A and B are shown apart, each in its own frame.
Chain A
Amino acid sequence: MLETPALQRNATLPAPLDTRYQVETPEGIDLPLRPAGLMPRAIAFTIDLGIRGLVLGFFFLVLAFFGELGLGLGSILLFVVSWWYMVLFEVLNQGRSPGKQIMGLRVVQDDGRPIGWSASLIRNLLRFVDMLPFGYTFGAICCLQHPAFKRLGDLAAGTLVVYREQPVKRPALPMASPTRTPFTLTLQEQRAVLGFAERQAELSQARVDELAAILAVPLNVQVPNATAELNGIARGLLGPT
Chain B
Amino acid sequence: MRLSDATVVIRPRTTWEAMDLGVLMSQQHRRLLMTSWAIITLPAYLLLTLLLWDSPSLVVMLFWWLKPAFDRLPLYILSKALFGETPTLRQALRQWPALLKPQLLASLTWRRLSLSRSFLMPVVQLEGLAGEARQQRIRVLLQRNRGASQWLTIIGMHLETALWFGLMALFYLFVPQQVELQWDWETLVSAAEHDWLWFEHLVNFLYPLLLILWEPVYVACGFSLYLNRRTILEAWDIELVFRRLRQRLSGVAPVLLLLALVMLPLAPPAFAAEDNNAPDSPRLLNQPLTSEAARDGIEAILDAPPFKNPETVTRYRFGEETAESADETEAKPNWLKALFKWLGSQRFDIAAALIQIALWACLIGAIVWLAWHYRERLKALVNRRPTPRLPIERAAPARMFGLDIREESLPTDIAASVEQLWATQPREALGLLYRALLSRLYHDFKIPLKPSDTEGQVLQRVEQLKQDNLLGFSKVLTLHWQNIAYGHRPPPTHLQQELCDGWRGLFGPGASR
CB nearest neighbor in A for B85:
A4
Of A144, A183, A211, the residue contacting B238 (CB under 8 A) is A211
For A146, give the chain B residue with the smallest CB separation.
B27
Residues of chain A lying within 8 A (CB to CB) of residue B238: 192, 195-196, 199, 211
Q: B128 → chain A, closest Cβ, in Å?
A: 21
Flag if B25 contacts A144 (CB, 8 Å).
Answer: no
Asked whether A2 and B31 contact (CB < 8 A) given A19-B13, A192-B237, the answer is: yes
Q: Would A42 and B159 be within 8 Å (CB), given that A18-B9, A192-B241, A202-B233 are in contact? A: yes
**218-266 of chain B: CB within 8 A of chain A:** 221, 232-235, 237-239, 241-246, 249-250
Q: Which of A202-218 contact B (CB under 8 A)?
A: 202-203, 207, 211, 214-215, 217-218
Q: Which of B159, B168, B233, B234 interacts with A140 by CB under 8 Å?
A: B159
Identify the closest chain B residue to A38 (Cβ).
Answer: B23
* Complex Cα gap A183–B248 (Å): 11
- Judge whether A199 and B17 touch: CB under 8 Å: no
Whether A28 is near chain B, meaning CB under 8 Å from some CB there, is: no
Question: In the complex, what residues of B have CB within 8 A of residue A135's CB?
Answer: 161-163, 165-166
| Cβ contacts B169-184/A at 8 Å (1 or 0 each) | 1101100000000000
Contact between chains at A199 and B235 (CB < 8 Å): yes
> Do residues B24 and A147 form an inter-chain contact, with CB atoms below 8 A?
yes
Nearest CB of A to B119, in Å: 13
- Can you list 28 contacts pairing A with B, beta carbon distance less than 8 Å? A2-B89, A16-B8, A17-B24, A18-B24, A19-B17, A35-B20, A36-B16, A39-B19, A42-B155, A133-B173, A134-B165, A134-B168, A134-B169, A135-B165, A136-B162, A137-B167, A140-B162, A192-B245, A196-B238, A196-B242, A202-B233, A207-B233, A207-B234, A207-B235, A211-B238, A211-B239, A215-B245, A218-B249
Quick one: given A38-B23, A195-B235, A199-B235, are A137 and B243 in contact (CB under 8 Å)? no
Contact A218 B151 (CB under 8 A): no
Which residue in A37, A141, A189, A214 is a CB contact (below 8 Å) of B239?
Answer: A214
| Cα(A40)–Cα(B172), bound, Å | 30
Whether the pair B221, A16 counts as a contact (CB closer than 8 A) is no
Complex interface residues of chain B between 1 and 51 (CB less than 8 A to chain A): 6-9, 13-14, 16-17, 19-21, 23-28, 30-32, 35
**Quick check: is B420 within 8 A (CB to CB) of the other chain?**
no
Q: A2-B89, A189-B245, A203-B235 are in contact. Are A16 and B17 (CB under 8 A)?
A: no
- Which B residue sits closest to A230, measured CB to CB? B242
How far, in angstroms, from A196 to B237 measured CA to CA in the complex? 10
| B residues in contact (CB < 8 Å) with A | 6-9, 13-14, 16-17, 19-21, 23-28, 30-32, 35, 86, 88-89, 151-152, 155, 158-159, 161-163, 165-170, 172-173, 213-214, 217, 221, 232-235, 237-239, 241-246, 249-250
Q: Which single member of A16, A17, A163, A211 contacts B242 (CB below 8 Å)?
A: A211
The answer to whether B16 touches A202 (Cβ under 8 A) is: no
The answer to whether B166 and A133 have CB atoms under 8 Å apart is yes
- A interface residues with partner B (beta carbon < 8 Å): 1-4, 14, 16-20, 34-40, 42-43, 103, 133-138, 140-141, 144-145, 147, 149, 163, 183, 185, 188-189, 191-192, 195-196, 199, 202-203, 207, 211, 214-215, 217-218
CA distance A214 to B237 in the complex (A): 13
Partner of A39 from B86, B152, B235 at Cβ < 8 Å: B152
Q: Nearest Cβ in chain B — how far from A45, in angstroms?
A: 11
Cβ contacts under 8 Å, A38 to chain B: 23, 155, 159
Which of A18, A140, A188 meets B163, CB within 8 Å?
A140
- 9 more contacts with CB within 8 A, not counting A18-B9, A195-B235, are A2-B89, A18-B21, A42-B158, A43-B151, A135-B166, A144-B27, A195-B238, A196-B235, A207-B235
Q: Evaluate contact between A141 and B20: CB separation under 8 angstroms.
A: no
What's the minimum C-beta distance from A192 to chain B, rounded to whole angstroms? 4
* A-B pair number, CB within 8 angstroms: 146
B88 surroundings in chain A (CB, below 8 A)? 2-3
Residues of B within 8 A of A19 (CB): 13, 17, 20-21, 24
Q: How far is the CB of B308 from chain A (nearest CB, A)?
A: 30
Contact check, A218 vs B32: say whether CB atoms are below 8 A apart: no
Query: What residues on B are CB-neighbors of A37 within 8 Å?
Result: 16, 19-20, 23
B242 in contact with A39 (CB, 8 Å): no
Contact pick for B166, options A17, A134, A188, CB 8 Å: A134
C-alpha spacing A4/B244, complex, angstroms:
28
Question: How far apart sit A189 and B169, CA to CA, in the bound complex (Å)?
Answer: 54
Contacts of B162 in A (CB 8 A): 134-137, 140
Q: With A and B bound together, what is the CA distance between A140 and B164 in angstroms?
A: 12
- A-side contacts of B167, CB under 8 Å: 137
Q: Which of B25, B31, B155 has the most CB of A within 10 A?
A: B155
Contacts of B244 in A (CB 8 A): 189
Closest to B22 in A: A37
Provide the residues of chain B in CB contact with A134, threshold 8 Å: 162, 165-166, 168-169
Chain B residues within an 8 Å CB radius of A207: 233-235
Please report the C-alpha to C-alpha distance between residue A139 and residue B132 in the assembled complex, in whole angstroms: 43
* Contact among A133, A188, A199 for B169, CB-based, below 8 A: A133
B8–A36 CB distance below 8 A:
no
